[in-house]
A and B are shown apart, each in its own frame.
Chain A
Amino acid sequence: DTEVTQTPKHLVMGMTNKKSLKCEQHMGHRAMYWYKQKAKKPPELMFVYSYEKLSINESVPSRFSPECPNSSLLNLHLHALQPEDSALYLCASRGSAGDIQYFGAGTRLSVL
């Protein structure tokens, strides 16, 4: 099973809402990633978790708050977002044996 599952697929939220994105994998991977992707652009790395600990934060604004409750699950908590945060949010995982990342299908986020 090489699947990374992201929920929800689509999310519309107002600037005062609080919502969460969820990512799950059962491949036993211990590294998990959040990316943000704008239209016609490459993915931009936001956060990296390694063995459930935050190892990289690419200077992401505090309105994005990641959480890794266990080795299979990664959340991204959203609060007080801006319209420019509208994007496709991708989760990925990587096994310890190599550098290949497995991506979920993404959450399409619209901030109104």
Chain B
Amino acid sequence: SQQGEEDPQALSIQEGENATMNCSYKTSINNLQWYRQNSGRGLVHLILIRSNEREKHSGRLRVTLDTSKKSSSLLITASRAADTASYFCATVAGTASKLTFGTGTRLQVTL
């Protein structure tokens, strides 16, 4: 399977803390994306980082990409209860334009 790995599998933090989740993948990529999924719902695109980029920011999100280690991290700063969700990294490689998802991290933010 070409599926990426994410860690941790689950993360529980308090509101206001930062949350960091990591993604590793196996092949050369065009870009890496992060998606959020609220329980039992569809996925929402959060951020895309291209293979020639090392860091990207969007609001409270910071994504890094290390292509030499085939890894990425997503940092959510000043977390809120509404950030409670599953987070998936997904890579795009070659010309197929299909997403290869990581295993996901379940984030729980408590008040």
Which residues of A line the B interface, CB within 8 A? Answer: 4, 6, 31, 33, 40-43, 45, 48, 56, 88, 90, 92, 94, 98-106, 108
The CA of A104 and the CA of B40, in the complex, are separated in Å by 11
Q: Is B3 within 8 A of A42, CB to CB? A: yes
Q: Is A42 within 8 A of B45, CB to CB? A: no
Given contacts A42-B104, A99-B48, contact A94 B97 (CB under 8 A): yes
Residue of A nearest to B42 (CB): A103
Q: Which of chain B's residues have a CB closer than 8 A to the CB of A99?
A: 30-31, 33, 48, 92, 97, 99
Q: Which of chain A's residues have a CB closer than 8 A to the CB of B101?
A: 42-43
Q: B81 an interface residue at 8 Å Cβ cutoff?
A: no
The interface residues of chain A, by DSSP majority, are classed as strand
The number of chain B residues touching the other chain, given as a range, is: 20 to 34
Please provide the chain B residues from 77 to 111 with a CB less than 8 Å away from any CB of chain A in the complex: 88, 92, 96-99, 101-104, 106
Q: Is A108 within 8 A of B40, CB to CB? A: yes
Most chain B beta-carbon neighbours within 10 Å: one of A31, A88, A99, A106: A99
Residue of B nearest to A2 (CB): B45
Q: List 21 A-B residue pairs with CB atoms under 8 Å apart, sorted by A's residue number.
A: A6-B42, A40-B104, A42-B3, A42-B101, A43-B101, A45-B98, A48-B97, A56-B98, A88-B40, A90-B42, A90-B43, A99-B30, A99-B33, A99-B48, A99-B97, A100-B45, A101-B43, A101-B45, A101-B99, A106-B41, A106-B42
Q: Is A4 within 8 A of B42, CB to CB? A: yes
Give min CB distance, A107 to chain B, whole Å: 10
Most chain B beta-carbon neighbours within 10 Å: one of A43, A45, A94: A43
Give the contacting residue for A106; candidates B40, B45, B92, B102; CB below 8 A. Answer: B40
Residue of B nearest to A88 (CB): B40
The CA of A51 and the CA of B33, in the complex, are separated in Å by 24
